[in-house]
Structure 1
Amino acid sequence: MSVMGFTDIMQGPFAQYIQISKQIGGDVGQQSQLVQQAFNAQLAYLQLASQSAKPANQNDLMSLLKPTSDQISAIQTFREKNRTSQFFNHLSAISESIPALGWVAVSPAPSPYVKEMNDAGQFYTNRVLKDWKEKDKRHVDWVKSWVQTLTELQAFVKQHHTTGLVWGGKTAPTGIPPPPPGGCPPPPPPVVDLGSAGDAGLDRSALFAQINQGENITRSLKRVTPDMQTHKNTGLRQGPAPFKAPAQSQTKPSAPVEKPPSFIRDGKKWLIEYQKQNHNLLVDGAEMNNVVYLFRCSDSTVTVKGKINSITLDSCKKTSVVFDSLVSSMEFINCQSVQMQVFGKVPTVSVDKTDGCQIYLSPDSLDVEIVSSKSSEMNVLIPKGNGDYTETPIPEQFKTTITPNKTLSTIIVESKG
């Protein structure tokens, strides 16, 4: 049952993930081949576990897990070698969540571990949805199929291996069989009743013989007695109760869940969440490939030392970030009354669904690109050279007209107020 359950996952959402990855092609298609090999290796491991006893020697167990772990490492290495890829967020989403296949070495609760790995990739799957949902729907389906694969994997582990991988044999294995050939296992053939085919002619002959009885065919029918007639027995008329839509709840929407503040470094990610009135937050010792992510912080200040990849403020209020230099971008998403100050370089600043954003630039960042959408009260402060700044608002109002060639022409409308 365990092997069949895992096979169902590979034939279901995982097969869809492989198919869409091939359609997208490029680095996504290449990485999906490594992912398929990893799932094939795990299937071989589950087949072995269903027929063998757990090895007593830990080294023997690690050697059996090596094919799967090697594929996980290959997937993560592929991401690191393609950091300039236009599909880097795709590669990162898989790289961050593929360790979910390591559940076979987790006990006593491997199911939550799979969910944790699925959540680890959510940061990058959200970026894929943000960047591609308006460009190419295949990328949205790609995210759904991969998230569904890990969701079903979590349910599979919870059902068949609640407290850890179940070994079904009596003797320890001497070696792991080679992984099955590439591609998902084919679905089982349909069950055919061979006996019914031979009797088909006899059944048809009996059917025509009954039809040819004429009036005598009604003699085998049961008589309807008075107690069975619905017009004389109203109780027989009652059918199933008609469907009623559930009453609309009158309760007001609940407020956002408040969680305790956290400041965590998870590998290459610095996660700063739910900080309140804390102006002494410091990210020090970060490397160039690190990212800093702030979520639901209010009335706080974060200082980032050194050069890192990117910084994101998500759903923050009255929060400031001060940093040296970024390789990629500074992003504000769904924020209110936020500001940033850069001392070195920042290539891109992105402002999305944000009301109130102050952008303090440095002399080295005057070539910055600022991309804004669905935002208001945005100001760029350009240094004068004497320690003072020139404040310039980013346009929020535009006028669009139709040209004689039936195309759109959009210009900025300057405020006269």
Structure 2
Amino acid sequence: MVSIAEFDNLLADHLSPFIALSNQIGDLVQQQSLLVNEAFHVQRSFIEMASKSAKPSTDGQFVAMLKPISDLITQIQDIREKNRKHEQFNHLSAVSEGIAALGWIAVSPTPAPYVKEMTDSAQFYTNKILVAFKDKPEQAHHPNWARSWITFLQSLQQYIRKNHTTGLVWASIAPAGAAPPPPPMGGFNLGPAPSTGDKAMDDARAALFASINKGTDITKGLRKVAADEMTHKNPSLRASGVVPDKEMKQLSVSGPVNKGPQAKGPVKLELDGKKWMVENFTGRHDLLIDDTQMTQSVNVYRCDDCVLIIKGKINSITVDKCKKFSIVFDSIVSVVEFINSQSIQAQAMEVVPTITVDCVDGIELYLNPKSLNAEIVSSKSSAVNISVPDAKGDYVEHPIPEQLKTTWNGKCFQTLPVPKN
């Protein structure tokens, strides 16, 4: 079958080089890649099974059919969640974000754009890898690894666009009384699949994806995640008007529904090697880091309704999954990053070369005269405002456009921001 042969070519031409580079890096990257390799070969078997079977018509059947893939996705993403302090965290995150592309088999009518979203999420981390290793030719396998992963995901999108344009191609629906479809490859038998309309299939898909974006709780069963817990691949600002199978990015199919809030881990403010870890604080307005060095970085994770002051010159700051959080810092060597957060206030007292804002709902940046040359990169974010001092020293707020307008100029498309009124 053509689609199976082309999927085999996809794995041989683009996944195999990625696996080889992962083996060269070793450690957790290699461990994660072995699961990636297994997951896509399981999906290959699934595609072959679908080409010989009718669509399942109940959510239980469809969820059970996807469980082997779902379990592998969970294992791959757990490696990232359980190793947040690992030196190759960006590698683990790039794979963890991109592996959700496996879910295209449950997306219709546009699975290829779904994979594009997952690729963009992965690329956020591969770009960090490219920057980190750009001046290290002796470690060229790291940027090569990053490019290889994105190339594979892009090739997967092209494969889907060609062979499964409007969704996974199944065999014709079996007539009433016909023999049941063969069991999915992998050894589990779901029994006969009754033949009904596509609505049941849509219901199954919606039920399957109801457990996306659970972070470290992914193995605890289905739950509806609050907006402030969603990752940058599914921020709350995109929740309105998006169908569930485009919002959801991970697969988990076991356990009862739990609608309670996700518990935080223990509070932490400590130096781990060259990283200051600030985690899980709530309602603390007196957090202070003042014993700093230029080679150190600060990672802030899941801090709500807090104020953090950082003294001295440090390398970088990352603020992830925080809410109603304020931070004041002196001088930065490389970058300050805000990810997956809400209601942030940040003030730069001295120099900061780059500020990135990714999937943040509401952020106020205050720059002083020494930081006016900062490069600010924002994506998938809303209510981004930058305040700078005027001639009198008073801060003046400048909103950043959230909308883009694209027009055809006769030769190519031209995209410009739409200013706020």
Q: TM-score, normalised by structure 1?
A: 0.49
- Which one has the largest radius of gyration? 1
Higher relative contact order (CA 8 A, sep 6+): 2
Give me the TM-score of the superposition, normalised by structure 2: 0.48
